[in-house]
């Protein structure tokens, strides 16, 4: 909330509630009316920002970006190139900041860590049997520990939808809390995969469960199913984060990922963020956009704002 003076981060490794609270938390999560929620999200998406504010928003979009590649064909070479792009999105323009992080598969973490040494760009790794998350718990936790040992600063794991949709909230909560412990000092982002949850009520419940278990971030999607981030589910998660902050004093970040390709979309999410969580959330510590192709569109829009003209796509490096 904009009125909130001080924002306090939850301490890593600390689950705020115990597993026996899980069912109660889910049960008393605020209901969400789909029509009203989407109407609000759509009306906010029509807000118009221009000139200086737009430049600031585009700059922020870069600073909050998790530049992502999550493909089976990712190689060392691909990651080296991605890291270069992450640090210097536009090599001919000094004023463009680095992105927040690169997001990739565990095997490629050492390469990224090496490339990004002495830069501010963080290494985020998916872990915990991404994207389904249904490997044995021990294997998933081991994977989380390993990527952290390899030097990942941030870990993106998935919510166990099998347990969650099956109503086994306590087990689901225990898994998240265990993942929280396994991640240690690394930032833990919990992917809810909103496209599989079926209703905004479920999105809200899943948000509450993940935040209570100690997630640093709640994240919309894996990008691996047809549905990615959507305005409605993002707004729903932001409202959950806002109320969680009011209730507990713990600020949890929100990450939108999946299908965010254009600057216009990024700005729409920033409008939702500003109107729901306020200016304190407009920082890479509390907001991220996961994207692979968004970056060049943002660079193009920045040049357009500055010069009034669009450059051709060949003036921006592909990675």
> What residues are labeled active site?
156, 219, 255
Position among 51, 73, 138, 314 found at the interface with another protein (CB under 8 A): 51
Position among 67, 101, 121, 234 found at the interface with another protein (CB under 8 A): 121
Q: Is 81 exposed, middle or buried (0-12, 13-18, 19+ CB in 10 A)?
A: middle
Residues 32, 36, 42: CA angle, nearest 5 degrees: 120
**Does position 294 bind another protein by CB under 8 A?**
no
Q: Could you give the residue ranges of the DSSP H alpha helices within 191-307?
A: 200-212, 231-248, 263-276, 294-307
Asked whether 143 and 127 are in contact (CB, 8 A), the reply is yes
Cross-strand partners of 256 = 289
Position among 26, 70, 96, 102 found at the interface with another protein (CB under 8 A): 96
Between 143 and 230, name the residue whose CB sits nearer to another protein: 230
Position among 216, 239, 297, 303 found at the interface with another protein (CB under 8 A): 239
Position among 45, 49, 132, 135 found at the interface with another protein (CB under 8 A): 49
Position among 45, 105, 110, 120 found at the interface with another protein (CB under 8 A): 120
Contacts of 107 (CB under 8 A, 6+ apart): none
**Does position 98 bind another protein by CB under 8 A?**
yes
**Choices 11-19, 42-50, 166-174, 187-195 (CB under 8 A): range interacting with another protein:** 42-50
Q: Is 113 exposed, middle or buried (0-12, 13-18, 19+ CB in 10 A)?
A: middle
How far apart are alpha carbons 233 and 220 in whole angstroms?
Answer: 7
Per-residue DSSP letter, 17: S
Between 139 and 246, name the residue whose CB sits nearer to another protein: 246
Between 127 and 251, name the residue whose CB sits nearer to another protein: 251
231-248 and 34-45 helices cross at what angle (nearest 10)? Answer: 100
Q: What are phi and psi of 115, to 5 degrees?
A: -65, -35
**Does position 132 bind another protein by CB under 8 A?**
no
**Choices 30-38, 166-174, 185-193, 308-316 (CB under 8 A): range interacting with another protein:** 30-38
Strand stretches in the chain, DSSP E: 65-68, 101-104, 122-126, 154-158, 187-191, 217-219, 253-257, 287-291
**Does position 88 bind another protein by CB under 8 A?**
yes
**Does position 308 bind another protein by CB under 8 A?**
no
**Choices 14-22, 33-41, 213-221, 253-261 (CB under 8 A): range interacting with another protein:** 33-41
How far apart are alpha carbons 237 and 232 in whole angstroms?
Answer: 9
Position among 15, 25, 70, 87 found at the interface with another protein (CB under 8 A): 87
The binding site for another protein (CB under 8 A) comprises 1-3, 30-33, 35-37, 39-40, 43, 46-57, 59-60, 62-63, 80-81, 83-84, 87-89, 94-98, 115-121, 239, 246, 274-275, 279, 282
């Amino acid at each position: 909330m904009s009125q909130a003076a001080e924002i306090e981060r939850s301490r890593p490794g600390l689950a705020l509630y115990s597993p026996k609270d899980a069912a109660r938390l889910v049960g008393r999560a605020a209901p969400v009316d789909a029509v009203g929620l989407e109407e609000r999200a759509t009306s906010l998406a029509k807000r118009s920002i221009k000139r200086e504010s737009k430049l600031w928003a585009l700059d922020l979009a870069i600073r909050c970006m998790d530049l992502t590649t999550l493909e089976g064909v990712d190689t060392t070479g691909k990651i080296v190139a991605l890291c270069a792009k992450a640090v210097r999105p536009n090599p001919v323009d000094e004023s463009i900041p680095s992105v927040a992080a690169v997001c990739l598969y565990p095997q490629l973490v050492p390469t990224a860590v090496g490339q990004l040494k002495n830069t501010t760009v963080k290494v985020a790794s998916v872990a915990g049997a991404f994207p389904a998350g249904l490997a044995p718990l021990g294997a998933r936790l081991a994977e989380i520990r390993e990527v952290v040992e390899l030097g990942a600063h941030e870990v993106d794991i998935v919510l166990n939808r099998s347990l969650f949709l099956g109503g086994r909230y306590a087990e689901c909560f225990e898994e998240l809390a265990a993942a929280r412990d396994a991640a240690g000092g690394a930032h833990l982002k919990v992917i809810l995969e909103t496209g599989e949850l079926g209703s905004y009520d479920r999105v809200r419940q899943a948000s509450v469960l993940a935040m209570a278990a100690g997630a640093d971030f709640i994240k919309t999607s894996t990008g691996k199913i047809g549905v990615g981030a959507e305005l409605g589910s993002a707004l729903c998660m932001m409202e959950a984060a806002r109320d969680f902050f009011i209730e507990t004093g713990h600020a949890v970040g929100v990450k939108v990922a999946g299908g965010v390709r254009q600057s216009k979309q990024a700005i729409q999410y920033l409008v939702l963020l500003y109107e729901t969580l306020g200016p304190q959330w407009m920082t890479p510590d509390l907001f991220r956009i996961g994207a692979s192709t968004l970056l060049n569109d943002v660079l193009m829009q920045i040049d357009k704002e500055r010069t009034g003209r669009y450059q051709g796509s060949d003036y921006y490096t592909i990675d």
